[in-house]
Amino acid sequence: MTTCTPRAAWGNLLRRLHFYVGLFIGPFIFFAALTGTLYVATPQLENALYRDALHSDTVGERQPLAEQIAKAETIVGSNLRLHAVRPGLEEGNTTRVMFADPTLGPSEHRAIFIDPVNLGVRGDMTVYGTSGILPLRQKIDYLHNSLMMGDVGRLYSELAASWMWVSALGGIALWFYTRPKRRINNRFQNRRRLHVILGWTLLGGMLLFSATGLTWSQWAGGNVDKLRADVNWLTPQVNTKLSGIPEIVDEHAEHHGHHGEMLMPEMAMDLSLFDGVLSAARKAGIDANKLEIRPAKRADQAWTVTEIDRSWPTQVDAVAVDPHSLQVLDRTRFDDFPLMAKLTRWGVDFHMGILFGIANQLLLIAFGIGLCVLIIWGYRMWWMRRPTQSAASPAQTLCQSWLALSHSARGSTVVASVLLGLALPVMGVSLVVFIVIDWLRWRAATSVSLAESSAK
């Protein structure tokens, strides 16, 4: 085994790991960056495409919410449960009445858009998530998150988020280990210089998008939620339990959908409660123009009114209102959130391109394009320096680079790999795949080297 200095050993290990991540994970990161850029670049296009549903030129006094909801119910019939209402409180905006439709996917709702002045039906379409995106961006979002393949497809985005921060930090560390002491002007070094500049420029964004992306992921996201709960970083939620009514807990309620919920018939019938609950929330300080009123699903729960304006300054206060007495039972204020809950909220909203409006969009578009160029440039550099021999040298494998480390360094890398693999399961499985592929290459390259030595 060829000996080398500890610095050279670490440099070789970083080089091989960075190469594997770039070669195998690069396409996933590239696709995530491309579709993410499309997502943040299209809200204006979506608003223009669905303008008739979102806006109305009718001028006059707004009708009560009860009448607007009743109009929407005539469109969907009595088979769908009313999920939430987003009143059109600003002039020219329509009211969005959302229903839980069992034929739709998770977080999807059928929305009827009502003109709050003349009660005209302006639109009928599927909306998605708290952000309430419409079909155009919903398709882009599904493409970005899961390749439109459901939970199986979500593994791709989790793979990209799990490794992007490693690739970013590893690339910076590799630059420190291998940068030339003097400026060299050749074609490869010039291309490497651009790759390094882009890496440094995009470093903060890559770390942020890895972190926020992992919070949405299927496997690592669960571990992130557990960590946030353990250290009290969860976002505060209003207490919706009504006093004097015993709370009925169904551990599997989330799997029942709208079936099996103990709904309140009188609440479904008395639509005037929406106007009363909205008035109570306004008096309690819920003053944003973007609101969501959500009726209780069960008889022992209060209604909630939540601000949903996630731009700057963030307005996401919420109150729980007793629909019988119209008393505010509980409230949460964004100003009172723990710091980490605020940072999580801002990080997610920045990731979605809505925190700072158009400035946020333009910055993320530039980031997405830059990241795509960075990946393409990395492939270009690899192509210029790709091995010309049919068999690789053992020195060009991860296994040989790891064996060149000291015993303590090897142990630390194993411990770090195991811990990361447990915290980020998709990273752990893919790392095992890397190691297996590399071990096969190492064995093949070692066999060739021994055969050549024997022939001499």
Please state which of the ranges 22-26, 187-191, 327-331, 411-415 shows the lowest mean pLDDT: 187-191
Of 332, 341, 19, 322, the C-alpha closest to 163 is 19
Interatomic CA distance for residues 67 and 272, integer angstroms = 8
Interatomic CA distance for residues 133 and 129, integer angstroms = 7
Backbone angles phi, psi at 269, to 5 degrees: -85, -40
User: What is the pTM assigned to this prediction?
Assistant: 0.87
pLDDT band at 395 (very low <50, low <70, confident <90, very high): low
What is the rounded average pLDDT of the residues 211-215? Answer: 93
What is the rounded average pLDDT of the residues 174-196? Answer: 80
Structure confidence at residue 306 (pLDDT): 97
Interatomic CA distance for residues 404 and 411, integer angstroms = 13
Interatomic CA distance for residues 408 and 9, integer angstroms = 13
Structure confidence at residue 178 (pLDDT): 80
Structure confidence at residue 251 (pLDDT): 32
- pLDDT of 78-112, one tens digit each? 889 999 999 999 999 999 999 999 999 999 999 99
Structure confidence at residue 455 (pLDDT): 59
Structure confidence at residue 234 (pLDDT): 86
The secondary structure of residue 276, as a DSSP letter, is H
Percent of the chain with pLDDT over 70: 89
Structure confidence at residue 394 (pLDDT): 57
Interatomic CA distance for residues 66 and 366, integer angstroms = 45
Structure confidence at residue 250 (pLDDT): 36
Question: In the predicted model, is pLDDT for residue 253 greater than 50?
Answer: no
Q: Match 């590399």 to its residue by tokens.
A: 438
Question: In the predicted model, is pLDDT for residue 438 greater than 80?
Answer: yes
Question: In the predicted model, is pLDDT for residue 164 greater than 50?
Answer: yes
The total of other beta-carbon atoms located within 10 Å of residue 296's CB is 21
What is the rounded average pLDDT of the residues 285-297? Answer: 95
Structure confidence at residue 107 (pLDDT): 92
Structure confidence at residue 17 (pLDDT): 93
Interatomic CA distance for residues 429 and 218, integer angstroms = 14
For the chain, how many residues are written? 456
Of 219, 239, 84, the C-alpha closest to 161 is 219
Of 397, 401, 395, the C-alpha closest to 439 is 397
Q: What is the rounded average pLDDT for all residues in the chain?
A: 88
> 107-116: long-range contacts (C-beta < 8 A, 24 or more apart)?
108/138, 109/83, 109/84, 110/76, 110/80, 112/71, 112/72, 112/75, 112/76, 113/53, 113/54, 114/68, 114/69, 114/71, 114/72, 114/88, 115/56, 115/58, 116/56, 116/62, 116/63, 116/68, 116/87, 116/88
Question: In the predicted model, is pLDDT for residue 258 greater than 50?
Answer: no
Tokens of 262: 């103990």
pLDDT band at 454 (very low <50, low <70, confident <90, very high): low
What is the rounded average pLDDT of the residues 414-435? Answer: 95
- Could you give the strand order of the β-sheet that contains 81-86, starting from the edge strand earlier in sequence? 121-128, 108-114, 95-100, 81-86, 291-294, 303-307, 318-321, 328-332
Structure confidence at residue 393 (pLDDT): 59
Structure confidence at residue 6 (pLDDT): 80
